């Protein structure tokens, strides 16, 4: 079998709010995650009105990369990372979001981080908005349901593009923009878009209007970015959980096909530049009134992305004669007909482990869009045990990653999929997004901190650290 491309970007992925800490340092304003408490598997995180003294907010200090970035980046360099995917905390740059001038201290922080990465030859891969909208935009404007927020985002994007134009080549506009298709709880609309659904509103309709604004904002950012630096590669980013039919029953097959539109809706527009017919039919059928301003269609057409970044963790399965299964929780995207897949095991958090699904989605996405793909998240959240001598034998994590790398290598070398790189999630232990826990660890570098915020914050290398170092060194040959 032929080898992986020489310039393949092996890296690691993180998001500002989950690892930086320093939530109120350097002029940073609060973001939508700064009012989220810790939850657990099956216990949702609370979104509080204000920052309450008595509550613990795990993202406030996170793993304190804000003060330890040199030490952490030295470890990433030792591992041999070729790129680091992270995000820019929007409220570090625009503390409230609606200012006209950026916060210089916030900009300087990312200058320092990017310079430090580049010093070691690690390319920053940057998401502009990874669940970090300034809280003020959510509270005072209603988040992206309000068209004015489009301008705020575009201003933020432009400032970042100009400031870092010689330091960053790969960008993404919004992280997992499609999470909000699941409106069964408050989490995703809040973190994606700073939106809360009011009583009496149709959540899906609110979501589609919000989505439209975000799609316009993303397209405008792409167009502006390409003018600032034509060499920029600006991508979309979606969570891509394939939805399998439970059986060969044509009803199951068609149901899965239809539900996959939840995954395709955003990239269909961001890659192709226009709304797919199935969405327009849905608006018509459901009586949704979505406001398009004059010129929006042109904006979408002109702002298509260069590549599609996506996260892949698991797959879901649906069955047509099941209509109200308890499995319809956030893991299964709120799908009421989700069932367990008898062929697949799951992690302690109920996330199914399906490496073949990765090859499957790489093929489906590449066939559908014919643009380069980038796996910008994949990984195994698990509890780690620190041995008496301080070593951490995370065999399960290595097995998970190994199987997924095998699958992606097959997609590239056998199927011919165009893939830019692979950045496993949470390369260093960070705060979990869905649960706010520390014990759900993805890292290859361990951080001594627990769910309640206790611990020395010391870093140490897990077995996976040494293993991944060899994977990178051998360009994916030695797994």
Residues at the interface with ligand BG6 (CB under 6 A):
15, 18, 175-176, 239, 311, 377, 381, 425, 432-435, 440
Measured from the CB atom, the residue of 435 and 451 that comes closer to ligand BG6 is: 435
Q: How far apart are CA 319 and CA 339, in angstroms?
A: 7
As a whole number of angstroms, the longest Cα–Cα distance in the chain is 65
Residue pair 314/241 in contact by the 8 Å Cβ criterion: yes
Residue with smaller CB distance to ligand BG6, 246 or 442:
442
> Nearest CA to 13 among 140, 155, 153, 123?
123
Residue 3 CA: distances (Å) to CA of 40, 350, 409, 424, 466:
41, 34, 8, 20, 22
Secondary structure of residue 409 in the 3-state scheme: helix
Nearest to 121 by CA among 150, 147, 82: 82
12: left (phi over 0), alpha (psi -120 to 50) or beta: beta
Q: How far is the CB of 136 from ligand BG6 (least distance, A)?
A: 22
CB 390 to ligand BG6: min, Å: 25
Closest separation between CB of residue 13 and ligand BG6, Å? 8
107, 112, 114, 115: CA torsion to nearest 10: 130
Q: Among all residues, which ones are annotated catalytic?
A: 176, 377
Q: From CA 218, how far away is CA 234, in angstroms rounded? A: 10
* Backbone torsion region of residue 65, taken as left when φ is above 0, otherwise alpha when ψ lies between -120 and 50, otherwise beta: alpha
Residue 3 phi/psi, 5-degree rounding, is -90, 170
Question: Shortest approach of ligand BG6 to residue 105 CB, angstroms?
Answer: 25
What does the DSSP assignment read for 135-160? HHHHHHH-GGGSTHHHHHHHHHHHHH
Instruction: Tell me whether residue 19 or residue 246 sits nearer to ligand BG6 (CB atom).
Output: 19
- In sequence order, the 6+-apart residues with CB closer than 8 A to the CB of 102 are 93, 94, 156, 159
> How far is 85 from 19, CA to CA, in rounded Å?
12
Nearer to ligand BG6, 141 or 265 (CB): 265
Pair of tokens at residue 113: 């981080």
Considering the complex, state which of residue 116 and residue 182 has its C-beta at the smaller distance from ligand BG6. 182
- The residue among 15 and 159 lying less far from ligand BG6, judged by its C-beta, is 15
| Distance of closest approach, residue 249 Cβ to ligand BG6, in angstroms | 31
Phi/psi of residue 339, nearest 5 degrees:
-135, 165
**Minimum distance of ligand BG6 from residue 129's CB (angstroms):** 11
Tell me how far, at minimum, the Cβ of 193 lies from ligand BG6, in Å. Answer: 14
What is 230-245 written as a DSSP string? TT-EEEEEEE---EEE
Euclidean distance between the first and the last CA atom of the chain, given in angstroms as a whole number: 15
Nearer to ligand BG6, 146 or 193 (CB): 193
Alpha-carbon span 427 to 148, nearest angstrom: 36
Q: Which of residues 18 and 337 has its CB atom nearest to ligand BG6 in the complex?
A: 18
Supply the minimum distance, in Å, between the C-beta of residue 223 and ligand BG6. Answer: 25
Both tokens of 79, joined, read: 């591992």
State the DSSP code for 36.
B
């Amino acid at each position: 079998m032929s080898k992986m491309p020489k310039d393949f970007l092996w890296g690691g992925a993180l998001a500002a709010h989950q690892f930086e800490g320093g939530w109120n340092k350097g002029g940073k304003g609060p973001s939508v995650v700064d009012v989220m408490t810790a939850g657990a598997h099956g216990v949702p995180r609370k979104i509080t009105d204000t920052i309450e003294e008595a509550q613990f907010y795990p993202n406030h200090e996170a793993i304190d990369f804000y003060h330890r970035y040199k030490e952490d980046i030295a470890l990433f360099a030792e591992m041999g990372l070729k790129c680091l995917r992270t995000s820019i905390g929007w409220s570090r740059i625009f503390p409230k979001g609606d200012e006209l001038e950026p916060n210089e201290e916030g900009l300087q922080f990312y200058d320092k981080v990017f310079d430090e990465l580049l010093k070691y030859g690690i390319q920053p891969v940057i998401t502009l908005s990874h669940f970090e909208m300034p809280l003020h935009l959510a509270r005072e404007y209603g988040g992206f349901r309000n068209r004015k927020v489009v301008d705020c985002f575009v201003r933020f994007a432009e400032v970042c593009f100009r400031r870092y134009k010689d330091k960053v080549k790969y960008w993404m506009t919004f992280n997992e923009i499609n999470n909000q298709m699941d409106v069964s709880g408050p989490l995703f609309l809040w973190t994606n878009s700073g939106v809360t659904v009011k009583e009496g509103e149709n959540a899906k309709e609110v979501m589609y209007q919000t989505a439209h604004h975000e799609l316009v904002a993303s397209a405008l950012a792409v167009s502006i970015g390409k003018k600032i630096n034509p060499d920029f590669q600006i991508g979309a980013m979606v969570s891509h959980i394939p939805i399998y039919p439970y059986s060969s029953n044509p009803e199951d097959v068609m149901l899965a096909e239809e539900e996959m539109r939840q995954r395709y809706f955003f990239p269909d527009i961001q890659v192709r530049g226009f709304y797919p017919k199935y969405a327009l039919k849905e608006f018509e059928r459901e009586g949704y009134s979505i406001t398009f301003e004059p010129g929006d269609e042109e904006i979408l057409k002109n702002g298509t992305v260069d590549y599609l970044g996506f996260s892949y963790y698991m797959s879901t399965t649906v069955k047509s004669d099941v209509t109200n299964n308890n499995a319809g929780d956030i893991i299964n995207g709120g799908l009421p007909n989700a069932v367990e897949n008898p062929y697949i095991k799951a992690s302690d958090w109920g996330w199914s482990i399906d490496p073949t699904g990765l090859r499957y989605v790489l093929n489906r996405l590449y066939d559908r869009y014919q643009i380069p793909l980038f796996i910008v998240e994949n990984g195994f959240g698990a509890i780690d045990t620190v041995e008496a001598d301080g070593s951490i034998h995370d065999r399960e994590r290595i097995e998970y990653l190994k199987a997924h790398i095998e699958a992606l290598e097959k997609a590239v070398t056998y199927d011919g999929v165009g893939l830019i790189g692979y950045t496993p999630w949470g390369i260093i232990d960070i705060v979990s997004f869905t649960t706010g826990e520390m014990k759900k660890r993805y890292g290859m570098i361990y951080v001594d901190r627990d769910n309640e915020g206790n611990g020395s914050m010391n870093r140490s290398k897990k077995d996976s650290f040494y293993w991944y170092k060899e994977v990178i060194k051998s360009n994916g040959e030695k797994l």
